[in-house]
């Protein structure tokens, strides 16, 4: 079976696609090929993972009335035509959401190839809403997304596929945590707070973390791992106090996120769909700070879903200050029973079988 997967942009979009691809190849013997842009992270991550990669031309969808919105369908036509050969060589096409998948998905519809869409977020993106009627199946990560899709769309709740090495954290936590302390310069016996801005970083979250160190001063039982994104690392490191408590270790990003998850007692993060999927399969309590400019406020909707499940608390970005962050961290980290309950509810909400479930949806669409 030949599968074409389209999508990308950020690592948060690429990792679920790769998790699906690995499951399709390893478990079902499929031949998987990817389509994406040359500027997105898929251009590096997909070939590094060993999959064939074809570049396509795609541009963000225009949501406001403008000349660009009027001309967008015409400018997309050449890209759709160029994608025709890619989709005709596939038994099934999978669109992982976002504008990158649009020309490939439209070419699949025109070539009468079965199309499966995957929607990561609690608020469906414009591309998936537009293509949902023509898809064989729309796979959802959040049940809340279903009510925003056309009634005629065939949906199934699969969850968001997670990398195998992240899925291994619950069973290998002690070994990975020991490795994390060695690799990241952490100390045993301290409570560990992991603060993640996402693959692109989060400047406001980084600034609040630096400002939170003063009210947290003297906490010798605490250590913080801060992932800043490459754009903010030097500025953040220059703002950190030298010595003192708590310990702070700042990195641009980590290739091995499983180490950070294994050692963390609490995670403070944006509310991207992949972040939420990874936190919950690892059974980690979280404080979520939704990115305020996410399309359709989908990060807030993602965070609210986890809050309703009892797995997370929320701080809105506009309310975030160092003092508030310090208070919220203290309230949570000093209440182990509350953290335990949140961790249990995160695990209960998670869907660690998402990659396999989505792979079966793809197989069904291909008639296998």
* Every domain of the chain and the residues it spans: 2-162+352-365, 164-349
- pLDDT recorded at residue 177: 98
Measure the CA angle with vertex 194, ends 189 and 195; round to 5°. 150
Per the CB < 8 A criterion, the answer to whether 240 and 213 are in contact is yes
- pLDDT recorded at residue 129: 94
- pLDDT recorded at residue 354: 98
Q: What is the pLDDT of residues 135-155, one digit of tens each?
A: 999 999 999 999 999 999 999
Predicted TM-score of the model (pTM)? 0.93
Is the fold of 2-162+352-365 the same as that of 164-349? yes
Res. 9 pLDDT band, cuts 50 70 90: confident
Per the CB < 8 A criterion, the answer to whether 352 and 281 are in contact is yes
Sign for the CA dihedral angle at 165, 171, 174, 175 comes to negative
Looking at the predicted structure, is the pLDDT value of residue 199 above 60? Answer: no
Res. 200 pLDDT band, cuts 50 70 90: low
Res. 75 pLDDT band, cuts 50 70 90: very low
Q: Which CATH class is domain 164-349?
A: alpha beta
Least confident window among 6-10, 217-221, 329-333: 6-10
CATH of domain 2-162+352-365: 3.40.50.2000
Q: What is the pLDDT of residues 306-331, one digit of tens each?
A: 999 999 999 999 999 999 999 999 99
- pLDDT recorded at residue 172: 98
Q: What is the pLDDT of residues 177-189, one digit of tens each?
A: 999 999 999 999 9
In angstroms, what CA-CA distances link 324 with 38, 216, 226? 41, 11, 17
Res. 8 pLDDT band, cuts 50 70 90: confident
């Amino acid at each position: 079976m030949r599968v074409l997967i389209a999508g990308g942009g950020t690592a948060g979009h690429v990792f679920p696609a790769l998790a699906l691809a690995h499951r399709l190849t390893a478990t079902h013997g499929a031949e998987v090929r990817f389509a994406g842009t040359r500027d997105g992270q898929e251009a590096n991550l997909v070939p590094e993972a060993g999959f064939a990669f074809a570049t396509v031309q795609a541009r963000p969808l225009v949501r406001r009335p403008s000349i660009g919105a009027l001309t967008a369908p015409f400018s997309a036509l050449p890209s759709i035509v160029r994608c025709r050969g890619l989709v005709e060589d596939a038994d099934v096409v999978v669109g992982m959401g976002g504008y990158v998948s649009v020309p490939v998905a439209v070419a699949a519809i025109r070539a009468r190839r079965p199309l499966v869409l995957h929607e990561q977020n609690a608020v469906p993106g414009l591309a998936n809403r537009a293509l949902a009627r023509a898809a064989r199946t729309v796979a959802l990560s959040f049940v809340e997304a279903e009510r925003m899709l056309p009634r005629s769309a065939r949906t199934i709740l699969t969850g968001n596929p997670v990398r195998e090495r992240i899925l291994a954290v619950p069973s290998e936590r002690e070994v990975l945590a020991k490795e994390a302390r060695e690799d990241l310069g952490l100390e045993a016996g301290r409570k560990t707070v992991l603060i993640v801005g996402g693959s692109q970083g989060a400047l406001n979250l980084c600034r609040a973390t630096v400002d939170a160190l003063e009210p947290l001063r003297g906490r010798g039982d605490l250590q913080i791992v801060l992932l800043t994104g490459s754009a903010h690392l030097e500025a953040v490191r220059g703002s950190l106090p030298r010595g003192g408590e708590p310990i702070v270790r700042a990195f641009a990003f980590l290739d091995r996120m499983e180490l950070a998850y294994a050692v963390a007692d609490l995670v403070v993060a944006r509310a991207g769909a992949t972040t939420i999927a990874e936190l919950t399969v690892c059974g980690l309590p979280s404080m979520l700070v939704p990115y305020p400019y996410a399309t359709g406020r989908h990060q807030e909707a993602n965070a609210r879903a986890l809050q309703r499940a009892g797995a997370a608390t929320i701080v809105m970005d506009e309310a975030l200050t160092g003092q508030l962050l310090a208070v919220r961290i203290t309230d949570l980290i000093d209440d182990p029973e509350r953290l335990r309950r949140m961790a249990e509810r995160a695990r209960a909400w998670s869907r660690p079988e998402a990659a396999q479930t989505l792979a079966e949806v793809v197989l069904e669409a291909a008639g296998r």
